[in-house]
Amino acid sequence: MTTPGGDQPATPGQSPDAEGAKALRGVALTFWAGVVVIAVSGASALLASDRGVVVWTGGLALGVVLQVRSFAAYKGALEAGAPAFGRLAWGLAAVGSVTAAALGLAGVAQFLDAKTSEPTEAAGTGSCWGVEDDSTMQQVACDSDHEFLGVGEVADPEQCSLGAAAYVELDDGFLCLADD
């Protein structure tokens, strides 16, 4: 017994249409698994920022591999005679892919932003500080916008020199800050 094309034997009890439908289910499953993996990896990158880099970058790579494999499998299923996906399926695939890509790119962008804006020095003499609001200062990277520079560590804020405009409390004392 052969398939309607006449060159390959049909699987007993399974028509070519059933084989095509099974192949398309596998394509859809692989595709949506890729979308979910990319979306979850992107969301974890957004939440973790600079932690768990191996986990979410591995997830992004795995998601891309799954999507590429699903397109290759779809092409193979079409060549084997499976019916093409309809407009609704392509529309859902586009929305899923765009959403996953947006989450992935947002996670990568946040990671890169966190890496470039992190202070590279310890909170001490020579560190740079920015004003968050009237009562809060945040240590920032010295190559970013900042208002103050750490000029000396003291045990009591009264020991800061007259040139110090402010101070911040450290674990083991105070850091005198001068305008920068």
Q: Are 144 and 127 in contact (CB under 8 A)?
A: no
Write the Ramachandran bin of 96: left for phi over 0, alpha for psi from -120 to 50, otherwise beta: alpha
What is the model's pLDDT at position 50? Answer: 58
Query: What distance lies between CA 141 and its chain's CA centroid?
Result: 23
Q: What is the pTM of this model?
A: 0.56
The rounded percent of the chain whose pLDDT value lies above 70 is 83
The closest of 124, 166, 126 to 142, measured between CA atoms, is 126
33-91 pLDDT, tens per residue?
999 999 988 888 877 765 666 677 888 899 999 999 999 999 988 888 888 999 999 99
What is the model's pLDDT at position 97? Answer: 92
Spans of all domains in the chain: 16-117, 128-179
Q: Are 126 and 136 in contact (CB under 8 A)?
A: no
